[in-house]
């Protein structure tokens, strides 16, 4: 077994072999059916650091052709959610629509179904015969806001609506959820809230920010603030301005648009819109790290030790060691949603292979996965 100190030792020495922190049974399952977890990850030689991996992915990663079918569903408050489907009707492995496994994909902050990492995930899933549906957060899927409400990492009501909708459409089809960055936070918070009633066979997260306060502190370091923080805050403000007429009834839009960091944006917009007393209260509620013991679904979580959005000291190593349903896979390098390898890393990368192998393992061997990740009742108390 890997203890806490050996994990830190691996971080310090930047081992090219990922560190896998999980129960013995979950480890056996993953090594047998998802062998990429034990393969060395060698980042692109000219793209070694976490910041560079994060930046270059946006500039260089290819955008595979994906044809979506869009569906708008209504919410209890009168709003609407945009879902982008790839039905994969020509699936040879699963020709029957009613039983075809479905992968639900949650993009990151300001992301949607057109992000390169989403397109590559869809390709991985469809080539294996699965159906995909991308959950676009309100206001970011090209749809209009019908109510003055968007989204936050702590509010799982829209995700609950989407899961229920998909399950009602295909009650006999297994459903797996995967979330990237903020989408992963949302998925983990949903799994913690719903427990055994989550309706998913498994969950996969990539580049999650486990402790929102620690992530903000990392992004407010001078270099990260200049490269990442201001850009993300600007994208968020653009989205608010795009829906200005609807949102100015509940927030001071002009004040929001002056935000220059994510924390300032959340102080002026997110925490106000969702009724938190302070931004600190929102960040504590949004952080998924301490909620892991309330989850029951098998979860594989990929993080890089050099992720500028999610510092390695905030990774839930101790929890992953004692929870039978959680596996934490940590690479020495990879940045935030980077994981670029090869000299010209435009195509499939480490993160994409992990996604493809894990979803296939979960769908092909559900009994083995459930048995490996069974939770004793006392862990839920």
Q: Which residues are catalytic?
A: 181, 307, 336
* Inter-axis angle of helices 116-127 and 350-364, nearest 10: 40
Distance, in Å, from the CA atom of 185 to the CA atom of 283, rounded to the nearest integer, reads: 11
Closest listed residue to residue 23, CA positions, set 307, 328, 282: 328
Place of tokens 């609506």: 161
Closest listed residue to residue 216, CA positions, set 153, 291, 266, 277: 266
Closest listed residue to residue 228, CA positions, set 14, 42, 50, 20: 50
Judge whether 66 and 119 are in contact, CB under 8 Å: yes
Tokens matching residue 244: 């200005």
Place of tokens 């839009």: 253
């Amino acid at each position: 077994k890997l203890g806490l100190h050996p994990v830190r030792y691996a971080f310090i020495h930047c081992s090219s072999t990922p560190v896998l922190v999980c129960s013995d049974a979950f480890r056996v399952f993953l090594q047998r059916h998802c062998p990429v977890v034990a393969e060395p990850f060698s980042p692109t030689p000219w793209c070694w650091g976490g910041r560079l991996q994060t930046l270059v992915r946006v500039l260089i990663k290819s955008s595979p052709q994906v044809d979506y079918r869009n569906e708008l569903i209504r919410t209890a408050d009168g709003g609407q959610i945009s879902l982008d489907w790839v039905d994969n009707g020509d699936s040879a492995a699963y020709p029957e629509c009613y039983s075809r496994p479905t992968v639900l994909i949650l993009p990151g902050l300001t992301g949607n179904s057109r992000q390169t990492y989403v397109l590559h995930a869809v390709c991985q899933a469809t080539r294996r015969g699965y159906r995909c549906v991308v959950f676009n957060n309100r206001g970011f899927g090209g749809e209009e806001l019908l109510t003055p409400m968007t989204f936050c990492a702590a509010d799982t009501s829209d995700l609950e609506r989407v899961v229920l909708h998909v399950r009602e459409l295909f009650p006999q089809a297994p459903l797996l959820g995967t979330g990237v960055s903020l989408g992963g936070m949302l998925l983990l918070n949903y799994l913690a809230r719903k427990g055994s009633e989550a309706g998913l066979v498994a969950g996969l997260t990539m580049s999650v920010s486990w402790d929102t306060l620690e992530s903000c502190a990392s992004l407010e370091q001078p270099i990260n603030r200049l490269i990442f923080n201001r850009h993300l805050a600007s994208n968020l403000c653009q989205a608010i301005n795009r829906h200005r007429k609807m949102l100015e009834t509940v927030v001071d839009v002009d004040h929001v648009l002056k935000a220059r960091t994510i924390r300032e944006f959340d102080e002026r917009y997110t925490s106000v819109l969702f009724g938190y007393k302070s931004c600190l209260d929102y960040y504590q509620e949004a952080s998924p790290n301490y909620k892991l013991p309330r989850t029951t679904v098998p979860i594989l979580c990929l993080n890089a030790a050099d992720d500028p959005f999610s510092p390695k000291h905030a990774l839930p190593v101790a929890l992953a060691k004692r929870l039978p349903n959680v596996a934490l896979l940590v690479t020495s390098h990879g940045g935030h949603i980077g994981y670029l390898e090869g000299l010209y890393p435009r195509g499939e990368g480490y993160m994409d292979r992990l996604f493809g192998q894990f979803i296939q393992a979960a769908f092909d061997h559900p009994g083995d996965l459930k048995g490996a990740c069974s939770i004793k009742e006392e862990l839920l108390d």
